Amino acid sequence: MTEHDPAPEKSDPQPPTPRDRPAWHIHRRLYDWVLHWADTPYGAPALFLLSFAESSFFPIPPDVLLIALVLGGRRRWFKFAAICTAGSVAGGIAGYGIGIGLMDTLGQRIIVLYHAEEYYQTVTRWYETYDYWIVFIAAFTPIPYKVFTIASGAFHMNLVAFCAVSAAGRGARFFMVAVLLYAFGAPMKRFIDRYFDWLALAFGVLLIGGFAVIKLL
């Protein structure tokens, strides 16, 4: 370089995008893997197994595959919602079993895997206040359901009540999604993708407020 040559400009290092992060890559690959089952003859069995696994250890919610399957066969919305609900409740029972029999080993490993140690302590306080009703809220909302299924077993919650509120909460969530997709199709998919967490959280807040009013009365 001569003295008249301009010094090369130093470009500011660019912060890594989500796609550059290994954890995001893994999550995205899992998401794509789940979604690809909608284009195979095994979509319905995959939906059951995904719903089962998500209730105890798997990170991707079954709504992803449910939405794709209903959009691909809108007249079968009831079937897909029922499969999703049944798989989720069955998986919840498996999570309950982990909590009641394997909490000190497998249960703790799952909680640590999702960095949910503090969250688990919060769940413990919620159980003391709302008992099994909090399972319904977790089943319907984006709150990590697997933590609640494991906690329900660890706290020796009544199994019949656990199954009932799980079926009610998960059924309300999955049938709501399926009915909206059946009625409105792709535009509703975009709406659900964008606002589902906010809608579900708002519903949970209203439900908790209702419990508080009942206790006051």
197 in a domain, yes or no? Answer: yes
Distance CA 143, CA 201 (A): 9
Task: Check residue 28 and give its pLDDT.
Answer: 62
15 in a structural domain: no
pLDDT digits (tens, 9 = 90+) for 142-156: 667 888 888 888 888
Report mean pLDDT in 10-residue bins for the chain, 217 residues.
Answer: 47 42 51 77 92 84 85 88 95 92 85 76 76 76 78 87 90 90 75 61 52 45
- Confidence at residue 210, expressed as pLDDT on a 0 to 100 scale: 45
Q: Which domain holds residue 68?
A: 46-216
Per-residue model confidence (pLDDT) at position 167: 92
Q: Is the pTM above the cut of 0.85?
A: no
* Domain tally, the chain: 1
Does residue 195 sit within a domain? Answer: yes
Residue 9 inside a domain? The answer is: no
Report yes or no on 53 lying in a domain.
yes
pLDDT value for 25: 46
pLDDT tens for residues 77-91?
A: 999 999 999 999 999
In a domain, 18, yes or no: no
pLDDT at 90: 95
In a domain, 103, yes or no: yes
Residue 156 is predicted with a pLDDT of 86
